[in-house]
Amino acid sequence: SAAEKGGYDWFMLKEIAEQPAVVADTLRGRLTETGEIHLDEMRLSDDDLRDVGKIFIIACGTSYYAGMVAKYAIEHWTRIPVEVELASEFRYRDPVLDRSTLVIAISQSGETMDTLMALRHAKSQHARILAICNTIGSTIPRESDAVLYTRAGVEIAVASTKAFLTQIVACYLVALYLGQIRGTKWGDEVSAVVGQLQEMPAAVDKVLDTMEPVRELARTLAEADQILFLGRHVGFPVALEGALKLKELAYMHAEGFAAGELKHGPIALIGEGTPVVIVVPSPLGRDSLHGKVVSNIQEVRARGARTIVIAEEGDDKVVPYADHVIRVPRTPVLMAPLVTTVPLQVMACEIAAARGLDVDQPRNLAKSVTVE
C-alpha cells in the first residue's frame, strides 16, 4: 500500500530516501569521539586479525560491487592484499587459502546460495570467515566466525540500494579496525577518516535534495537502446552498479566499463546519440585520474555520445564536454561511491517507471537467490 511505501510510488524510492539514515545507523556506536573504531560485536579476536595476511571478498550482484569498492579502501588503509571474487566462481578455481586468510562474505539477505557455498569451501580450507550481512540470524552469518551487521533495515525492492551503501560503510569500518589494531603507520589517519565517514549521511542527504533534474533527464532516456557507464578507481564499481540497476529495472542493455579500457573496445559501441554516463573522480584526487576521465568524456562526445556527467560541485573542467552535469558534494576520494551511486539508482528507477515497468518486482529476478 501507499502507506507502507511511506508516500513514495515504489519501495525502491523509499529505500533510496532512507540512505542517509541507514548510513548513520551503520556507523552508530562503532566510532568513538576520539576517532577509534569499536567492533567488539565482531567476535574475531584482535590476535586473529593481526595475523591476517590476505583477504578475499566473496559476494554476488550488488554486494559484489560493494566488495569491489571496499578493495580500494582496505588495500590503501591496511596494506593487506585483497581479492574480490564472484562467489559463484570462487571455489571452482581452487583458491589458495589458509589460517591467515580472512574471507569477507558480503550478503544483504544472508541466504544467497552461491555465497554460502563459497564460504563453506573457504571454511573447509581453514580460512577465517567474516560476514557482512543485513539480516540478523540468517545462514551466512550463522556459519561465519564473525559478523558485522549492516543496519539498512528491511530491503523490500528487489534491486538493492540502501544495503549497498551500508555494505561499503561496514567494509570501511572493518578496514579501519584492521588498520587500528595492526598499528600500520597509517594508523594516525584513522581518526581523520572516521570524521569523513561521519559526514557522509549529510552528504547523501544533499544528493537526494537535488534529484528532480535527474528524474527529468531519466525520462528522456527511456527510449534509448543502450546506456554505457564509465568510471575509474572506485568510480569503476559504481559504473558497474549503475549498469546493473538499469538492466535489472529497465531491461535495457547497459554496461559499465573502466574508463581506461575505453579505447580497447567499448568505444566501438558509441554512435550518434548513445547515452554515456561518466562517473568523474574528484579533481583533488591523486594520480591525475580526473584529467584522464575528462579526456574520456571528450573522446566519447567526439564520436557522437550524449554525455551525462556525474561530477563534484565546483568541477568546471567537465562542463565544456557535458550534455548534462549531475552534481554531487565534494568528498574524499574513497567516500565518493556513497554519493555518486545515488543518482544512478534514481535514474534506473525513473527510466523503468517511464517504461511502464514494475520497479519493485522486475521480471525474472528474485530478492534472494537460494539456489546455485
* Residues classed as catalytic: 367
Calculate Rg over the CA atoms of the chain: 20
In 223-274, DSSP assigns E strands to 226-231, 253-258
Which residues make up the interface to ligand G6P (CB under 6 A)?
60-63, 107-109, 112, 115, 158-160, 365, 367-369
* 43 vs 367, beta carbon nearer ligand G6P: 367
CB closer to ligand G6P out of 112 and 331: 112
Residue 358 is given by DSSP the state -
- Type and span of the H or E element at 86: strand 82-86
Gap between the Cα atoms of 64 and 241, Å rounded: 9
Q: How far apart are CA 244 and CA 254, in angstroms?
A: 7
- Nearest 5°: CA angle at 228, between 227 and 229? 125
CB of 123 to ligand G6P, least distance (A): 17
- Report how far apart, in Å, the C-alpha atoms of 233 and of each of 32, 47, 70, 311 are: 29, 32, 11, 14
Nearer to ligand G6P, 108 or 296 (CB): 108
Whose Cβ is closer to ligand G6P: residue 87's or residue 322's? 87
**What CA–CA distance (Å, rounded) separates 333 from 97?**
31
Nearer to ligand G6P, 14 or 327 (CB): 14
Q: Which three cell numbers stand for residue 58?
A: 566473496
d(CA 233, CA 35) in angstroms, rounded, equals 26
Helix 235-250 × helix 61-78 angle, to 10°: 170
All 3 cell numbers of residue 332? 574524499
Q: Smallest distance from the beta carbon of 328 to ligand G6P, in angstroms?
A: 23
Shortest Cβ 146–ligand G6P spacing (Å): 17
In the bound state, the residue with its beta carbon closest to ligand G6P is 61
Shortest distance in whole angstroms from residue 145 CB to ligand G6P:
18
Residue 71 or 301 with smaller CB distance to ligand G6P: 71
Question: Bridge partners of 308?
Answer: 277, 324
Minimal distance, residue 138 CB to ligand G6P, in Å:
9
Residue 363 CB, nearest distance to ligand G6P (Å)? 12
